[in-house]
Amino acid sequence: MPILVTGAAGFIGYHTCRALLDRGEQVLGMDNFSPYYDIRLKQARLDLLTPHPGFRFQKLDIADRDGMTALVHAHPDMTGIIHLAAQAGVRHSLIDPYTYIQTNLMGQVVMLEAARLLPGLKHFVYASSSSVYGANQEIPFSIDHRVDRPVSLYAATKRADELITRTYSHLYGLPATGLRFFTVYGPWGRPDMAPMLFAEAILEGKPIRVFNHGDMARDFTFVDDIVAGVLAALDRPATPGQDVVPHRVYNLGNHRPEPLLRFIGLIEQALGRKAERELEPIQPGDVAATCADINASTQDLGYHPRTSLDDGIPRFIDWFKAYRGVA
């Protein structure tokens, strides 16, 4: 009985598929190969999955209502959905808002409607984001904090996804869990995120843009730790809480905010090269610091992030150099 993973050719999606396959699951991967970034990276990830006998792939957009309905009818035995596909990127949402609405909102509703058609579905797990905390000033960010003050359209769509999914859980008894990811990094990462942007620039001798003049901190979380949390959530279907709705949200982070300048320093050290830094003001939609309160994730999911930045950055750079063919 397969598990559907959307965004299977994406960063977290690829690692999630691999982890599911490694433990003997049948996986149906789905991706639309959005051109938001170089699709050759997505194809390279997918090429590593397709030889596995337990993996099947369907190229499909999550907002395609007819396509999703047909997929569900073709695979009525699916028992789990891990919905990771989304239009990502805080800053890009200022440039292309319509894509965020189509993918992150319409896509979420289409996926939920598809989930309703599966008679044996045990759990709908979906990606949210630490961005939902928006203008929150309380550190660490707790799932009990207010999340009604987003500072980017991307954040607003991810918070809307949480509300829409909770509504489906209320109306149809659909067990669902939203996972708020905190700054995920690691091998096969996205090229629009800081690790790849910085590594590419340093390697090519170009300056890196350091926002808020370097006075920023992020709860950098290694992808293997995130995937462990995703699978732990999948294995523990949401049950009705105090409000009798089988929906919940959790933070998946490292609970260890790291200064941006230390992060850059570790990349420099791993590459053996110094960066030329251009200090700039904070960008619209950005926040100065993030930190995850993971008490609920630890208690309910057994979530324990194990990879420090000192260990994770060299592992990322080793992959990056191999991928780029750099000795």
> Which strands sit side by side in the sheet containing 176-181, from one edge to the other?
55-59, 27-31, 3-6, 80-83, 123-129, 176-181, 247-252
What is the distance between the alpha carbons of residues 208 and 267, in angstroms, rounded to a whole number?
A: 12
Residue with tokens 């995920």: 184
What is the set of active-site residues? 154
What is the distance between the alpha carbons of residues 121 and 104, in angstroms, rounded to a whole number?
A: 22
Total residue length of the chain: 327
What is the distance between the alpha carbons of residues 29 and 42, in angstroms, rounded to a whole number?
A: 13
Closest C-alpha to 177, from 187, 167, 168, 165: 165
Strand partners of residue 129: 181
Question: For residues 186 and 222, is the Cβ–Cβ distance under 8 A?
Answer: yes
Residue 177 three-state SS: strand
List all residues 6 or more positions away from 272 whose beta carbon is below 8 Å from its beta carbon. Answer: none
DSSP strand pairing (80-83 vs 123-129): parallel
Residue with tokens 């800053």: 91
Phi, psi dihedrals of residue 326, rounded to the nearest 5°: -100, 130
